[in-house]
Amino acid sequence: MRAIETTDLSKHFSSGKIKALDNVTLAVDTGHIFGLLGPNGAGKTTLVKIMLGILNPTSGSATLLEHPLDTIEIKERVGYLPENHRYPDFLKGGEVLDFYARLAGVPARTIENKKKRLLKMVDMHKWESTRIRKYSKGMMQRLGLAQAMVNDPDVLFLDEPTDGVDPFGRKQIRDVLHRVQDVGKTVFLNSHLLSEVEMICDQVAILDKGRLIRTGTVEELTSPSRTFRFQTSGVSPDLLTALKSFSLKIDCEDNYLTATCANQEKLNGIVDVLRKHHVDIKSIVPHKRSLEASFIEILKKDVVAE
């Protein structure tokens, strides 16, 4: 089942002069954690606002859980944590959840138990009776995550959920999102912390200037290059001379060799040369690009293609 689907979705502002979204077509299956990436002004927030019914598209179509976006019942199955969310600072943490649970139509008899369960899930139960004016940015983010889940949504939209959260808090949030995924929920998140996206997302999409320029799994976007790092027992001048015959870019540092190979045959050839020179191979590690490096490379190629 598709949790989110768009077809040729566009949104124009200023009488068509600004194309915030330009024919975006994507699909997210249920039970996935999906990351939407892109530079500032790429159209990420516009896309989320359309999916939530806050904005209407200029053209194209979109569905949530295979229902039209204007279906009232479908809105009850969606949770949302906006970036830079604000709550009345005189409220206590528990009162915030109580208020939003009532707005969401959560049965009154279940609110208290749900509130305590969610606060414990995001490690905020100790501050349930503390006024949020005393909360740090990270505490506000975790409270916001609990608020977004108060109606037990099937699809959870999160805008920069780990912004301002310390490393331990980010780990807690990742654990919570995996628990949400484990029960079949779908998470759709925007984040500038690409290292976080790389650790948690099954699939990602990259937007640039309103256009969808790449989609795929994290593994597909960070697939290993043909660069390998060899740890050896020693590197001699004779060995380097022998390796030159492969016409490879080879860097040497102490007992490490870094070589870029065009194919498996050349990789095997390097291994053969090392063995011929009686070099012990302690490890061969393929170089894997980070999601951040892949993201920057994809954006650069998009600029060149324009």
Domains of the chain in start order, with CATH, are 2-219 (3.40.50.300), 227-286 (3.30.70)
pLDDT at 79: 95
* Residue percentage of the chain with pLDDT more than 90: 54
Q: Look up the pTM and report it.
A: 0.80
Rounded Cα distance between 11 and 69, Å, is: 15
Q: Give the max Cα distance, the chain.
A: 79
- pLDDT exceeds cutoff 80 at 225: no
Rounded Cα distance between 38 and 295, Å, is: 8
Start-to-end CA distance of the chain, whole Å, equals 35
Nearest to 22 by CA among 261, 284, 302: 302
Rounded Cα distance between 39 and 45, Å, is: 11
- Compute the Cα dihedral for 95, 96, 99, 102 and give only its sign: negative
Question: SS3 of 102, please?
Answer: helix
In the DSSP assignment, the letter for residue 126 is G
Residues 239-264: tens digit of each pLDDT: 778 877 765 556 666 677 777 776 77
User: How many CB atoms within 10 Å of residue 132?
Assistant: 19
Residues 123-159: tens digit of each pLDDT: 999 999 999 999 998 899 999 999 999 999 999 999 9
pLDDT at 224: 58
